[in-house]
Structure 1
Amino acid sequence: MTLPRTWRRSLAGPAAGLLAVLVGAALSTGASAATLFTDDFEDGNATGWTGSAGTWSVVADGSNALRQSASTLDARSRAGSASWTNYTVTARVKPLAFNGSNRFVALLARTQSDTSYYYVTLRSTNVFELKKLVNGSSTTLATAAATVTAGTWYTLSLTVSGSTLRGSVAGGPTLTATDSQFTAGGIGVATYYATASFDDISVADTGSPSPSPSPTGTTIVVAKDGTGNYTTVQAAVNGVPAGNTKRVTISIKPGTYRELVTVPATKPYISFVGTTGNATDVVITYDNAAGTPKPDGSGTYGTTGSSSVVIDANDFTAKNLTFANAFDEAAHSYDAEQAVAVTTRGDRLIFDNVRFLGNQDTLQPSSPSTTTIGRAYYRNCYVEGDVDFIFGRGTAVFDHCEIRSLNRGSTTNNGYVTAASTSNTTAYGFLFTQCSLTAASGVAAQSVHLGRPWHPGGDVNAIAQVLYRESAMGAHILPSPWDDMSGFSWRDARFSEYANTGPGSTVTADRPQLTAAQAANYTAQKYLAGSDGWNPIP
């Protein structure tokens, strides 16, 4: 959805690096747990890590990461304390290249030395293993099939609790075993005839990735200053056990968290909540664009790949915080400058008092596939951007939200609010009900479109559905507010309005209006009900 620009803008700059070491704090549920160690390498060094063989350094790989760049036999880097006993170590791991067949990257626990420890491996042969190494001799304790692709980030965890061992890949298999070879020891990362990056490494002294949710749920605290259970949002998400059935609230203290965050489909019932109640106090942001080159040279991120936050889980909620993409358009000349703050592919999602900041393609309500519906409810939210800044195939209701168009410097075309790609088998796409459509300073009158129909890859079955009803429209909205896109006519889409007000709402021949009878079938409840009768509307 590219449009040439005559104006460029950047968001506030990223925050300084996160603290490297966090010493524990109690969970609000009263569970006894502490974070023993975290390192996201944003300080640019590997202080506290001891490398053995290989070539270890901190490099940029999306964010700063620890990299082993020599394709040698058995390269390791270790950290932590020999006195640690029961804990979970979690890390993001990206194999970059395998030098031959049956090679691996690994995460270590209860390390005794460079030749004795427990570990989990991702092998180039698409195998995930739970193993132990004793004086250089390895034993496989459990194994499972897993897709292993060079250039892809994986989140691995390894739990050691008494004689119980558990290893997992986020979104993939979990392995368990019983072994009493080692009772205490530190952590580590390793490669075997492979190169790899390692990031966001954390150690929690609970015997599981995070306190298991009790019947009343669990609260995990994130704080940049080390006063919580984690210093990064992704580490807190990593700490939630896969398959959780109770709500886990990740309570986030004030700060700007410059990180990429993914909530995987295997972790439903997660809530992000800013602690102050003021959405501006907690900002989760990153700055990739569609045209940003990947550090490993494998191409660019693409539109969805640019997302600062991706929510694949069902029943996610967010409240009192900000999601942003801070890509600096003025500093780059990419052909593709789409820069997404949030992509959602889960179902039954709620956003309450949340801000979404960006320029082109700010917010993408989507779904797992064109045949699956993903519903999201945005209440009292703020969304800003310029070109197609609310786009995708999802079903989304914006209720009492401010939708703000930014200034692109054009007197005739300051962009498009929406670019829906609703499947023709999906009845409901985007609804804006009792919203305010506003414009930034300098935006020319009658210069912003309400939307245009996006047909991804020329998909003729993507028949956009968008309704603005009972909303106040500023003077920036064009009197003929719908536009064609990529050779597809807006008149073939399902675009309509109902009972809008304000200087930008004047009805013309190019503004399809619903009747009162038709509007009764296009309420927020109708959009969100689905087959399960979901109704998050207060």
Structure 2
Amino acid sequence: MDRRTVLGGALLLPAAARAEARWDAIVDPRTGTLGKALERAAAAGGRPFRILVREGVLVEKLTIAVPNVTIVGSGPKTVLSFGTYAGLKHPDGNVWGTGRTGTLTVSAPGTTLRNLTIRNSFDYIGAQRDTAGNGAQAVALTIGREADRTWVDRCWLEGYQDTLYVQSRSLFTDCRIVGGVDFIFGGAAAWFERCEIVTRFVPGAAEFGFLTAPSTPLEQPFGLVFSRCRLGREPGVPARSTWLGRPWRAGGNMALTGQSVFLRCWLDAHIKREGWTWMGYKGPDGEQRRLTPQEARLFEYASRGPGAGPASSTRRMLGQADAAKFTRATVLGGWDGFSG
């Protein structure tokens, strides 16, 4: 018997069918691919296109190239995974380089990602063990310069070095971001709210990396801003072993004075007392230089927990008036993610 019901001349669908009708495409990892769903989104020509992904693992390397795509998973066990790393040889004869390694790359505006895990599965620990770590940058999620108004909600982002590369205005809410070296980086104005930022354990490591590497342009008032986040660590990561970050002057561009700000965050004991450190770059004269925390825009306000440290020349604290300038609305230029 047809389970659909006709009432008053209208076709009524069961509740499950009505729920599925909300989606333009539904992906079951056992039988389909997210790549095929994104091809259908491209054919839609930019109209809002909603994709539901059921629980399972998708081994794909993908780009969202059309506007207004929403991808919703079924929770952390909905996994998109791939293992490209910077030093790997590309089919064009060059190496991939950091910017091309993303498991998922967003290169169009108005993208929403929700309830899924995005993972770069490159064997970073094995590469370190075998002293093959050069070119070990391996991005899970890249948000490109054209990807304005990207909202990432309740997602798990997993990698080791360079997990999240964010280059345009973005909002992250209730996410879990896991990595080790410079694992949240880029020049975007981005707001991270109630996120868990987790430092990974690497056997034999003397230090355990840097949470952020901002490359914010000087004329841009806001960079990577973390509000009410929790900075944690995997078992084995020792106390006072991890930097909040270091400023990245990408390509020696003197106009980049990276900004990272932590507002009302809880910090575990793995955070170093000094907070921030320098990052090297090659100046216009070809000489090797250092961009120091004092030259960059690296700040905290009302940090809590065992990793909260005293103010110093490298660990600068905002006053209440300056901290009040950092809100979701100001950082994101009036866009809040919920209004499209």
TM range (shorter): 0.7 to 0.9
For 2:30, the equivalent position in structure 1 comes to: 225
Q: Would you say the 8 A contact 2:274–2:309 is kept in 1?
A: no
Q: What are the equivalent positions in structure 2 for 1:41-52 lying under 5 Å apart?
A: none
Could you say which residue in structure 2 is the equivalent of 1:311? 106
Residue 235 (structure 1) aligned to one of 32, 36, 42: 36
- Cα distance in 2 for partners of 1:511, 1:422 equals 18
Q: 2: CA distance between counterparts of 1:471 and 1:419?
A: 18
Pairing partner for 1:523 from 312, 327, 335: 327
Residue correspondence of structure 1 range 121-520 to structure 2 within 5 A: 219-226=24-31, 231-241=32-42, 244-264=45-65, 267-274=66-73, 276=74, 278=75, 280-294=76-90, 296=91, 298-332=93-127, 333-345=132-144, 346-366=147-167, 374-409=168-203, 413-486=207-280, 487-509=290-312, 510-520=314-324
Maintained 8 Å contact 1:480/1:511: yes
Give the Å deviation of 1:237.
0.7
Q: Which has the higher strand share?
A: 1
Query: Structure 1 520/246 Cα, relative in aligned 2: closer, same or farther at 3 Å?
Result: same
5+ residue gaps, structure 1: 1-25, 31-216, 367-373
Runs of 4+ in structure 1 deviating by more than 6 angstroms, as ranges, are 26-29
Structure 2, unpaired ranges of 5+ = 1-16, 281-289
AA matched with 1:225: R
Contact 1:434/1:471 (<8 A) preserved: yes
Where 1:391 maps in the other structure, the secondary structure is strand
The answer on whether the counterparts of 2:30 and 2:56 sit within 8 Å (CA) in structure 1 is no
Size of the aligned set, in residue pairs, is: 307
Name the amino acid aligned to 2:231: L
TM-score, reference length from structure 1? 0.55
Contact 2:85 2:122 survives alignment (8 Å): yes
C-alpha distance after superposition, 1:329-354 (max 9, x if no partner): 24442521000001002111111110
Q: Is the 8 A contact 1:410 1:444 kept in 2?
A: no
The offset of 1:358, in angstroms, is 0.3
Identity %: 31
Distance in structure 2 (CA, Å) of the matches to 1:392 and 1:398:
14
Q: Deviations over 1:177-234 (max 9, x none)?
A: xxxxxxxxxxxxxxxxxxxxxxxxxxxxxxxxxxxxxxxx7521111233xxxx1111
Larger radius of gyration: 1
Deviation per residue, 1:114-139 (Å, 9 max, x gap): xxxxxxxxxxxxxxxxxxxxxxxxxx
Distance in 2, matches of 1:334 and 1:516, equals 42
TM-score, normalised by the number of residues in structure 2: 0.86
* CA distance 1:519–1:430, shift in 2 (3 Å): same
SS of alignment partner, residue 261 of structure 2 = strand
| Cα distance change of structure 1 residues 473 and 29 upon mapping to structure 2, 3 Å threshold | closer
Whether the 8 Å contact between 2:103 and 2:140 is mirrored in structure 1 is: yes
- Matches of 2:154 and 2:258, distance apart in 1: 27
Say which SS state the counterpart of residue 491 (structure 1) adopts.
coil
* Structure-2 change in CA distance of 1:537 and 1:508 (3 Å): farther
CA contact (8 A) 1:525 1:537 kept: no
Q: What is the CA–CA distance in structure 2 between the aligned matches of 1:467 and 1:314, rounded to whole Å?
A: 25
